[in-house]
Structure 1
Amino acid sequence: MTELLKVGKIVNTHGVRGEIRVISTTDFAEERYAKGTELWIEHPDTKKNTPVVVASHRVHKNFDLLTFEGYHSINEVEPFKGSTLLVTKDQLSELEENEFYYHEIIGCTVYTDQDEELGKVKEIIETGANDVWVIRRSSGGKDILIPYIKDVVKEIDIEARTIYIQLMEGLVE
Structure 2
Amino acid sequence: MTQDDCYLLGYIVKSHGTKGQVVFHLDVDYPEEYEDLESIFLEIKGDLIPYFIESFNLQKKSRAIVQLEGLDTMEKALALVGTSIFMPLETLEELGDDQFYYHEIQGFEVSDENLGVLGTVREVYSVATQNLIALDYQGSEVLIPIVEGIVLKADRAEQRVSVNLPEGLLEIYTGGGEVDGESERDGDDEN
Would you say same fold, with TM above 0.5? yes
Aligned length: 168
Cα–Cα, structure 1 residues 127 and 81, in superposed 2: closer, same or farther, change >3 Å?
closer
Return 5+ residue gaps in structure 2 as ranges: 173-191
After TM superposition, the score normalised by the length of structure 1 is 0.78
Matched-pair contact (CA < 8 Å) for 1:5–1:86: yes
In structure 2, the partner of 1:115 is: 116
Cα distance in 2 for residues equivalent to 1:107 and 1:82: 26
Cα distance in 2 for residues equivalent to 1:61 and 1:28: 10
In structure 1, the partner of 2:72 is: 72
Cα–Cα, structure 1 residues 48 and 125, in superposed 2: closer, same or farther, change >3 Å?
closer
Whether 1:6 aligns to 2:8 is: yes
Matched-pair contact (CA < 8 Å) for 1:118–1:135: no
Alignment map for 1:86-97 (pairs within 5 Å)? 86-97=86-97
Alignment map for 1:4-153 (pairs within 5 Å)? 4-32=6-34, 34-43=35-44, 45-53=45-53, 55-60=55-60, 63-113=63-113, 114-127=115-128, 131-141=130-140, 143-153=141-151
Aligned to 1:116, the other structure's residue is in SS state: strand
Q: Over aligned residue pairs, what C-alpha RMSD do you find?
A: 2.6
In structure 2, the partner of 1:158 is: 156
Return 5+ residue gaps in structure 1 as ranges: none
Which residue identity is paired with 2:131?
A: V
Cα distance in 2 for residues equivalent to 1:160 and 1:59: 40
Judge which range, 7-16 or 162-171, deviates more. 7-16
Percent of counterpart pairs with the same letter?
22
Cα–Cα, structure 1 residues 61 and 88, in superposed 2: closer, same or farther, change >3 Å?
closer
Which residue identity is paired with 1:49?
A: I
After TM superposition, the score normalised by the length of structure 2 is 0.72
